[in-house]
Chains A and B, each alone.
Chain A
Amino acid sequence: MTALTAPAPAPSGLRRVRALAAAETRLLLRNRTAVVNSVLLPLFLVAVVPAAGLGGDGPLGPRLAVTAVAVTLVFLTYYNLVTTYVARREELVLQRMRSGELTPAEVLLGTAAPTLLVTLVQVALVLAGTAVIGEWSTPTDVVLPVLALLGGAALMTLLAAASTSFTRTAESAQITTLPLVTLASVTSGVLVPLTAFPEQVAQVLRLTPVEPVVELARLGLAGQTWDGRTVDWAGAWAAAPQPLLVLAGWIALATLVAPRVFRWAPRR
């Protein structure tokens, strides 16, 4: 048996992910439709949210921002990543990438990078939009919405990876993503306020995957609890443990499930 000897220092995981992420971003920028859509969605939100009265009660700026976080995570991050992972799997690109030095997690993260970047850019564009239309208001807390965005992005990435197990083609993602998209739309409190449901139902809905993201974003950006109470910074943090725990629980569950059900190559 010939033993392994250490070669030159291996590139760090970060460097490998950065290389793949740069290539994926280049691919995204070469897709004009995707680039245009990335800019149009925030503009759409800035136009629709005030008109439709979405995002709960209170000033328009925080409502816009809360809606942007939830809508972007579900409709862009989750949906795009399901289609991207499935398309790359069916094109045999994922398997090829996995056959080199990139680890499986690095392949998934590098592939997701442009979508995650666009998620951040879109939320930033909406925030800028609120300032442009004169609706910006100082957040009650900055950390909670950042945690909501980052935790939500991690959860959506993991749920997208898990959803590829029952998505055969990129086209069929339009159907297979519907359960989460519908669930998130109805139960997250962004389109339909939880106060519209009976108390016991609302408490159950607070355990669904996207609700804690909305709840944390609203606590930080609007200083509002899920049931519409206005709170200060201390009150926001006092109300934060449950959504933080629920979000962490979903991330932990998705971390367990996604690697077990994810397929790297098309079904034989």
Chain B
Amino acid sequence: MQLTRPAPAAGPLPAGAAAPVVEVTDLRRRHGEVEAVRGISFEVRPGEVFALLGVNGAGKTSALEVVEGLAPASGGTVRVLGADPVTERAAVRPHLGVLLQSSGLPADLTVRETVALWAATLTAPRPVDEGLAQVGLTDRAGLRVRSLSGGERRRLDLTLALLGSPRVVVLDEPTTGLDPESRRTVWALVRQRVAEGAAVVLTTHHLEEAEELADRIAVMRAGRIVLSGTAAEIAATQPATVRFTLPAGAPALPAVPGAQVVSAVPRVELHTRALQPVLTALLAWADAHDLVLGGLQARAASLEQAFLAVADGADPS
């Protein structure tokens, strides 16, 4: 997989992979004068999780709403299982499971009634009890939705999204507001659906969630995809960091090839894309001068670092 900077398409797929079930090409979406999505492209294949990351207002939800068939594109094309999710809604919907970023359910229905209602509208629903058990709501089945906690409502919403065993699942911030245990339950459900062959498109503000679940990630800023690839590939767009403190009276730090000095004596920070050679050279220099590099830390680049760099407006480099 290649990394694209900035990326018109979110990463080509390995040769021989299954045909894509979600195809987004040069998608644009306007809200009045504001162009929320400015020509993004990506594909998702069966058994794959694709994550869209970005700060609030980056255009993630606006893009997903077109994939979900809830809003028309202003430009470009979206195909879900080969069909337009807006104009060929009836063909797409039986195969599409959607969890909206925020949504409501009738507050005075019980949990079981809510799942049963949803099941009655689906082409191939799983049993209601199975749906309830899957998200740990069996013992809450008789309660009205209004009395559930925020996390329980989110789990209820998720089981509705997955109740029809959809081939394409769109999850807009699925674990927002969930406690760590519930979040892991959601991750397990997503993995199970993916193992069964579903394609998943998700947005999240939890970077560890993207690292945990996603096969490929695209980072959006101001309506565009500016980075895409695997978590490791995206992290690798940022330099590794070496930090240490030089003792008083230490000789001047030599120029280390491949390292950029961000802050100098006595608390030194170096950035490098060649961590091992830089670290080797640095340790050799310290050894030659019989120096102890206080609090020495060497940290590889992270997805978070890349995300923050994009959020800060830095060009990926």
Using CB atoms and an 8 Å cutoff, list the residues of chain A in contact with chain B: 1-4, 7-11, 15-16, 19-20, 22-24, 26-27, 30-31, 88, 91-93, 95-96, 98-103, 264, 268
Contacts and interface: CB of A to CB of B under 8 A. Distances in A.
Interface stretch (B114-122, B216-224, B225-233, B302-310): B114-122
Contacts of A268: 31
Interface in B90-134: 90-95, 98, 100, 102-109, 113, 117-118, 120-124
B121 to A, nearest CB: 5
Interface stretch (B2-10, B78-86, B263-271, B272-280): B78-86
Most chain B beta-carbon contacts within 10 A, residue among A24, A92, A96, A264: A96
B129 to A, nearest CB: 18
A102 B120 CA distance: 10
B214 interface: no
Nearest to B110: A26
Most chain B beta-carbon contacts within 10 A, residue among A4, A20, A24, A102: A4
A2 B168 CA distance: 11
A4 B103 contact: no
B120 A4 contact: no
Nearest to A17: B121
A92 B91 CA distance: 24
B177 to A, nearest CB: 15
A136 to B, nearest CB: 38
B39 to A, nearest CB: 21
Given A2-B19, A20-B121, A101-B94, A26 B46 contact: no
A261 to B, nearest CB: 16
B81 A96 contact: no
B18 A4 contact: no
A98 B70 contact: yes
Contact of B81 (A3, A16, A95): A3
A4 B91 CA distance: 7
Lowest 10 CB-CB distances: which A-B pairs, in order? A19-B120, A92-B104, A96-B103, A91-B104, A99-B98, A10-B123, A93-B104, A23-B117, A16-B121, A8-B124
Chain B residues touching A, majority SS? loop
B68 A1 contact: no
A92 B113 contact: no
A87 B200 CA distance: 32
B23 to A, nearest CB: 7
B160 interface: yes
A1 B80 CA distance: 9
B94 A95 contact: no
B54 interface: no
Given A2-B18, A2-B81, A93-B103, 15 more contacts: A1-B21, A9-B123, A10-B90, A11-B120, A27-B108, A92-B103, A93-B104, A96-B157, A98-B70, A99-B103, A100-B93, A100-B121, A101-B164, A102-B121, A103-B89
A96 B105 contact: yes
A99 B106 contact: no
A88 B107 CA distance: 10
Contacts of B164: 100-101
A248 B109 CA distance: 37
A23 B107 CA distance: 11
Nearest to A3: B82
A4 B20 CA distance: 12
A8 to B, nearest CB: 5
Contact of B123 (A1, A27, A95, A101): A101
Interface string B136-169: 0000000000000000000001001000100000
A23 B113 contact: yes
A2 B48 CA distance: 14
Given A1-B79, A2-B46, A30-B108, A101 B19 contact: no
Contacts of B107: 91
Contacts of A264: 70
B113 A26 contact: yes
A31 B23 CA distance: 46
Contacts of A31: 108
Contacts of B89: 103
Contact of A99 (B18, B100, B109): B100
Contact of B106 (A3, A19, A27): A27
B202 to A, nearest CB: 15
A95 B100 CA distance: 9
Given A23-B113, A92-B103, A103-B90, A4 B81 contact: yes
A8 B123 CA distance: 6
A132 B81 CA distance: 61
A264 to B, nearest CB: 7
A10 B104 CA distance: 25
Contact of A100 (B31, B90, B98, B109): B98
B122 A4 contact: no
Most chain A beta-carbon contacts within 10 A, residue among B23, B93, B107: B93
B270 to A, nearest CB: 45
A2 B45 CA distance: 9
B146 to A, nearest CB: 11
